[in-house]
Amino acid sequence: MSDAKKVFVRTYGCQMNVYDSDRMTDALAPEGYASTDTLEDADLVILNTCHIREKAAEKVYSEIGRIRKLKDARAETARPMTLAVAGCVAQAEGEEIMHRAPAVDLVFGPQSYHRLPELLKRAGAGDRVVETDLPTEDKFKALPAASREVTLKRGVTAFLTVQEGCDKFCTFCVVPYTRGAEVSRPIAQVLDEARRLADAGVREVTLLGQNVNAYHGKGPDGADWGLGRLLHALADIPGLDRLRYTTSHPRDMDDELMAAHRDLDALMPYLHLPVQAGSDRILGMMNRKHTAAEYMALVERIRAARPDIALSGDFIVGFPGETEDDFRATMKLVEEVGYASAFSFKYSPRPGTPGAALDDQVPEEVKSERLARLQALLSQQQQAFNASKRGAVMDVLFEKPGRFEGQLGGRSPWLQAVHVEAPAELFGEIRQVVIEDVGPNSLVGRLTGDEAAARPSGADGRVAAEAGGRA
Ligand code: 5AD
Ligand code: SF4
């Protein structure tokens, strides 16, 4: 066994947590920690948790129980195990975790992980440490960058957090409490990180933020840049052929961002635009600050800017006071929009949020029944969207080994998984593919062999997609 200490990070929840987990590993690298995929092999275990719905937090407590056995067995050995709980449950519950789970040595929130080396030293000295302040310092600036090797190992697609936190205070959501106020990272910092990723061979970057389209920063020209301008600057970075962003709030889709969808070939034709519900009464109670009709009008403007765009959304059923008529309004909105993919959830009262204090909570069986109806419709729409790509010619970025020997797995511009018979050398490349088969969750394609297509996904990728996409 090598002398290097090992850290095992388990990630729950959203893509921002995936990004944060990598940053934690980066923060520990200078301390001599290598990352491991084997829990049993770890000196330090970090559970990077999610608090968005009840089940997510409960999963963490049962995982702590399992790890405790391993930790106890190691207690008297030369390699004791340290157990840390990070992320949004850590932020929301803090001390409560220490009470409920004596095996935990360290609890720290999403705004403290740049201080991980120091926190670990304190925990190593025998203290049980809880760190859940929301500091104002720039954690990103304090974090070391991943080495080129590490970035490469993580793959040809990468996440990049550009904005964090939320000031919207939807009445169902814990994020404003767990992630704090809305903050955008400075443009120069974002561009630096993107260039580093591109230099290491990353081809596709997904910009992350709880409210990513509210992004704003001071550009090199001194002007205030929104997400649209930032996307233009990112598209100019050689090697970054594909850009995506998530998650957006309908109120923050500005004209510049819409124009970016029209003008930038690198910006993929896929938009995650949660609406949550279709009834104006419920939207009001949720404090979403828009109506169903305003959302529909927005969808029309987006489709006018980029006709082949695929829309995805999030939905909550059973928000307090939701009647059968309210729920039908959600179904109607879904029918009108036609989603390519979506996530839908039963409302889960989160402690400390205004929704949890409302009287009219919807019974569990009603929520389950509505969720089943909604999911049946959404899955029908997803299948219809996939089926519309049969025979289409599209660019695929190959990003992992395929399901079967001799195949590679990639993504379509619309984020669909595509399996293709292709040589391993094409890993990390974008190639033109014709879709021969479609399933509910993925497509099967064949390389067209058109070497003229061996280019970054560019203008003609879009023409091909439009020509074939409506087949
Ligand atoms: N209950 C159920 N779903 C929720 N979401 C956020 N908070 C809750 C909650 N309390 C869903 C929303 C959001 C997604 C990330 O999770 O749909 O867009
Ligand atoms: Fe979970 Fe939301 Fe926190 Fe992401 S930001 S980890 S979804 S609670």
What DSSP line would sit under 376-439, residue for residue? Answer: HHHHHHHHHHHHTTTT-EEEEEEEEE-SSTTEEEEE-TTS-EEEEE--GGGTT-EEEEEEEEE-
pLDDT of residue 453: 47
Structure tokens that stand for 465 in this block: 């997609």
Residues with CB under 6 A from ligand 1: 52-53, 172-173, 274, 276, 314, 316, 345, 347-348, 350
Angle at 255 between CA 252 and CA 260, to 5 degrees: 100
Would the CA dihedral through 173, 179, 184, 185 be positive or negative? negative
Ligand 2 centroid distance, CA of 463 (Å): 37
Angle between helices 187-199 and 227-235 (to 10 degrees): 30
**pLDDT of res. 125:** 80
Q: Is the pLDDT of residue 260 over 90?
A: yes
| pLDDT band, residue 462 (cuts 50/70/90) | very low
Looking at the CA of residue 52, tell me the nearest atom of ligand 2. Answer: 8
How far, in Å, is the centroid of ligand 2 from the Cα of 103? 24
Atom nearest to 174 CA in ligand 1? 7
Q: Percent of the chain beyond pLDDT 90?
A: 83
Q: Are 369 and 392 contacting, i.e. CB atoms less than 8 angstroms apart?
A: no
Q: Is residue 103 over pLDDT 90?
A: yes
Question: Is 101 close to ligand 2, i.e. is its CB under 6 Å away?
Answer: no
Task: Say if ligand 2 is within 6 A of residue 52 CB.
Answer: yes
Say how many Å lie between the CA of residue 88 and the centre of ligand 2: 6
Average pLDDT over residues 450-470: 39
Q: Tell me, in angstroms, the distance from the centre of ligand 1 to residue 172's CA.
A: 7
For 144, phi and psi rounded to 5 degrees?
-75, 150
Split at pLDDT 50, 70, 90, the class of 451 is low
Ligand 2 atom closest to the Cα of residue 51 is 8
Phi then psi for 297, rounded to 5 degrees? -65, -40
Cα gap 389→434, rounded to integer Å: 9
pLDDT class of 3 with cuts at 50, 70, 90: low
CA nearest ligand 1 atom 6, residue: 173
For residues 75 and 68, give the distance between their C-alpha atoms in angstroms, rounded to a whole number. Answer: 10
Mean pLDDT score of the chain, rounded to an integer? 92
172 CA: nearest ligand 1 atom: 10
